Amino acid sequence: MYQHILTAIDGSTRAARVMDAVEYLAKATGAAVHVLHADEAEAVYDRVVDLEDDDVAQAVIDREVVRLRAAGVNAEGEVADVLHENVADLIVTRARELGSDLIVLGPGHHGRIGALLGSSVSHEVSLRAPASLLLVV
């Protein structure tokens, strides 16, 4: 059914639920998994401010790739430097480049005001996804 799954995770608690679903689907279908973590930055005036330590970002990926491989899943991982507002673009672009047939995300939960003021990565990806999209809540 699926041959290549792209999952984008952050360091939040919902990432564990996302990875449970990814592991299950990969084992059930024999799909390879690409785990992506956006190492986000913000442009502040004429400077770019990194929002996460590089070692912390890499540890997020390493932990999940080791977990998947221990379960017998063909997995690789990547930390990508990206501006906060370009995270959805990164996910969609990687899915196209990798030929992914499934994208798995854990949507952030916004209150009403947050939803009105900010954009949702999962919503933006859903509008342009080149593959099926699974949201794990």
The H helix count followed by the E strand count for the chain is: 5, 6
Q: Give the DSSP letter of residue 72.
A: T
Q: What is the pLDDT of residues 59-89, one digit of tens each?
A: 999 999 999 999 999 999 999 999 989 999 9
**pTM surpassing 0.85?**
yes
The answer, yes or no, to whether residue 125 has pLDDT greater than 50, is yes
Q: What is the pLDDT of residues 2-51, one digit of tens each?
A: 999 999 998 888 899 999 999 999 999 999 999 999 999 888 898 888 88
Q: E-assigned strands of the chain?
A: 4-8, 32-44, 47-50, 75-83, 102-105, 132-135
Domains and CATH numbers, the chain: 4-135 (3.40.50.620)
Contact partners, residue 3, CB within 8 Å, separation at least 6: 29, 30, 31, 32, 99, 101
